[in-house]
Chains A and B, each alone.
Chain A
Amino acid sequence: MTARKIAKKHIADLLNEWRQGFNVFVPSRDEGVAKWARWDGGDAEFLEWYRNTVVPPKALFFPPLEEMFSFHKDGDGYRVEQPPPAEERWLIFGIRPCDARALAVLDLNFKEGYEDLYYLKRRENGVLVGLGCTRPYESCFCTSLGIGPTDAADVDLMLTDIGAYFLVEAVTDRGEELLGKTSLVHAATGADEARAEEARKAAGARVTRKIDSQGISEKLRASFEDKGFWERVSAKCISCGICTFLCPTCYCFDISDELVKRHGARFRSWDSCAFSLYTKMPMENPRREKWRRLRQKVCHKYEFYPDSFDVIACTGCGRCIRLCPVNWDITWVLSSLPVQKQVGLET
């Protein structure tokens, strides 16, 4: 498939064309925090400031709060109503490779065994247009997890910044379809492709933070019972849960009911292993202590999830580092595991 390109000044026009067939979402900071918002025309001003959103795109597929169904109490019984199936097609413009990979990671949990239709329906109807990352944050470490800041692996269409233009590559058939009707996209030249390749290399080199993810599950397994270590690395954690809420691969949720007179609904909402209520039972709580909860968070991502699905549930997006109110740092925890040296080279 030959590469194509689009002028940056035409992005707004392209989004407007796509808006005819999709609900288009773009990065926005209208409400003060960078998150995803519906494109309503205007300038593509986000191209100026966008590095990554604070709220990850998982929120579009797995909302912080969603109604699962509603009910009306009717004598001794209930009349249950499900929300209509999400049929609308939508397009996420500008997703970063780390966050696109995160969705692929989430798919595994929501598909395994019983299918979670709330999430999967939205995934099915969503098209991802990736935007290569040229200005990664200091806290980013995606390259340590096998993801490049300009990787196209998990999106339908990929854009790479080559100056006044974006190089455009259709990754999937759905991506190709997006280009089918537009006249804003032109054939790219060999020089464009060379420029894109340079941009990719340069972007990768800008990710300077590293972890050694080789054999990390084994190291964690060997460090599991080291209570002193976990107490030390969780000492400053205030259990606020922000690292899990804003993590693009965290999916833990709560289910709760609301009832007003005879009408009510069942909701699901994001939950967090950082909270002691999360595992609290009437008589006991397996993770009452903070160090146990933080250990769960780290091990879930780097040991338990790989055990189940063969993939680390972290994409190195760095949000948990740069958004933590007390500067907790997962890369520091991973690189100071007590058994680092003994097992590090054997795996």
Chain B
Amino acid sequence: MALSDVSHRPRFLREGNVYLPHPAVIEKIFSETADTKTFHFNFRDEKLREEFTFQSGQFCLLSVLGVGEAPFCISSSPTRRDHLECSVKEVGRLTRTLHRLRVGAEIGFRGPYGNAFPLDFLRGKNLVFVGGGIGLAPLRSLIWNVIDNREEYGRIDIIYGARTPADLCFSYDLEAWQQDKTVNMVTTVDKGDEAWKGQVGLVPVVLEEVAPSPDNSVAIVCGPPIMIRFTFPALEKLGFTPGQMLTTLEKRMKCGIGKCGRCNIGNIYVCRDGPVFSYAEIANFASSEY
């Protein structure tokens, strides 16, 4: 199966002017770490609120009109329809502005764009989630999606790491997964402190210690590029094949719909054909610029 075959995916908000953002209102803001916040928001338009659907792994473009627009993965699960969530790390002008917004402020939303984690392919399999830092955001959407349909999947391992305990995102989710008896949750930090009771060590190293079996398993990896680069070989060592490893790629984007040119890797547009790819697909790209 070609994971990037998106011809049959539903395309919402695609009629008319596709560049027009839809007004949404921030309902709640969580500070995840010193530089990352999660925004809960909802469309102003009631009909849209009801009809809007997306799939785990898809992304959107958030606007603060007058400042700009940037892509973010939708970090909430489509199984929890009450509102949408995006987690934003402060790295530039737009994200700085987003961080200054308060509950009740209006933002613009375009999407959902891109392919998604292939649920049909994942169903019935053991899932190994490997995340680092803010890279947990897209995984989190899928993890809740899977937990909400727990009986459809096999074993679930989650290996999540950050630099320090203060850099761990979604602590409330980590706690919930820790307590979930059907999930094996392993949290690690590069550098612990006195209160830290979890593992200490880099994610790929801890992954090898946990040593999930590759049998009927798929690993879903997301984190900083350096972590991904070392995680794929670690998984290969454990016996995972390139087709059993999924990740989401990140590129600079403007349009989000395959028109503006910049997010390409060869003839692949990350916004249009991704962002979810298997390692097998990545290895086949015409370009090594991923």
Contacts and interface: CB of A to CB of B under 8 A. Distances in A.
Interface in B220-271: 224-225, 250-252, 254-255, 257-262, 264-267
B251 A304 contact: no
Interface string A253-276: 111111100001010100101000
6 contacts: A112-B258, A118-B17, A224-B287, A252-B261, A257-B67, A264-B66
Interface stretch (B18-26, B137-145, B187-195): B18-26
A278 interface: yes
Interface of A: 68-69, 71, 73, 76-78, 80, 82, 109-110, 112-118, 221, 224-225, 251-259, 264, 266, 268, 271, 273, 278-284, 286-287, 292, 296, 299-300, 303-305, 307-308
Contact of B262 (A278, A303, A307): A278
Contact of B44 (A69, A77, A254, A292): A77
B258 A114 contact: yes
Given A71-B66, A259-B66, A271 B260 contact: yes
Contact of A117 (B17, B68, B104, B266): B17
Given A78-B106, A117-B17, A224-B286, A256 B261 contact: no
A303 B267 contact: yes
B69 interface: yes
Contacts, number: 133
Nearest to B272: A113
Judged by DSSP, the binding face of B is loop
A268 B68 CA distance: 11
Contact of B260 (A115, A117, A253, A284): A253
Given A76-B106, A271-B260, A292-B289, A257 B68 contact: yes
B65 interface: yes
Interface string B39-51: 0000010000000
Contact of A283 (B18, B225, B290): B225
Contact of B261 (A118, A253, A257): A253
Given A69-B20, A116-B18, A251 B65 contact: no
Contact of A284 (B18, B225, B272): B225
Q: Nearest 9 pairs between A and B by C-beta? A: A259-B66, A252-B261, A282-B91, A307-B267, A304-B267, A264-B66, A77-B106, A114-B257, A286-B289
Identify which of B11, B67, B69, B286 gathers the most chain A CB atoms within 10 Å of its CB.
B286
Interface residues on B, range: 35 or more
Given A71-B66, A77-B106, A286-B290, A255 B255 contact: yes
B210 interface: no
A69 B63 CA distance: 13
B26 to A, nearest CB: 9
Contacts of A68: 17, 19-20
A227 to B, nearest CB: 10
B280 interface: no
B81 interface: no
A113 B258 contact: yes
Contact of B267 (A71, A116, A256, A308): A308
Nearest to B61: A255
B259 A82 contact: no
B263 to A, nearest CB: 8
Given A114-B14, A114-B257, A281-B251, A273 B65 contact: no
Contacts of A76: 25, 104-106
Given A82-B17, A252-B260, A286-B251, A266 B65 contact: yes
Given A76-B105, A225-B288, A271-B261, A114 B65 contact: no
A308 B258 CA distance: 11
Contacts of B224: 283
Given A80-B23, A117-B16, A308-B267, 9 more contacts: A69-B19, A78-B23, A113-B258, A116-B19, A117-B17, A257-B67, A271-B260, A282-B92, A287-B289
A338 B72 CA distance: 40
